[in-house]
Amino acid sequence: MRSFKPTHRIFVPDPKNPIGEISFLVQLETDDPDFGGPAYTEVEWESGLLASYERQDDGTWTFQGQPFNGRVEKLSGGES
């Protein structure tokens, strides 16, 4: 199995702080910027679980198949 190499950071609202955010890293399964696919958290990747997040072919992101209230940033090469 390949090691986890994060490609994006996902930010979602913090349910305990209405003005805060929680962020975590995901690895998009493909390197092709024109193609969508599953984006795994490190736990999902290492455990062989299904990815909760996915990048659609049109560039939008979903959580468990639904739009989500958050934002996504692409990581630069050495960020983790």
Q: Is residue 1 part of a domain?
A: no
Q: Is residue 29 part of a domain?
A: yes
Q: Is residue 80 part of a domain?
A: no
Those residues whose C-beta lies under 8 Å from the C-beta of residue 79, and which sit 6 or more positions away, are 6, 9
Q: List beta partners, residue 21.
A: 13
pLDDT above 80 (res 20): yes
Q: Is residue 28 part of a domain?
A: yes
Domain of 70 in residue numbering reads as 8-12+23-74
User: What is the average per-residue pLDDT within 65-72?
Assistant: 92
Task: Give the Cα separation of 24 and 20 in Å (integer).
Answer: 14
Q: Is residue 18 part of a domain?
A: no
Task: Give the Cα separation of 24 and 44 in Å (integer).
Answer: 12
Q: Is residue 47 part of a domain?
A: yes
Task: Give the Cα separation of 35 and 51 in Å (integer).
Answer: 16
Number of domains the chain is built from = 1
Digit-coded pLDDT (tens) for 22-52: 999 999 887 666 678 999 999 999 999 999 9
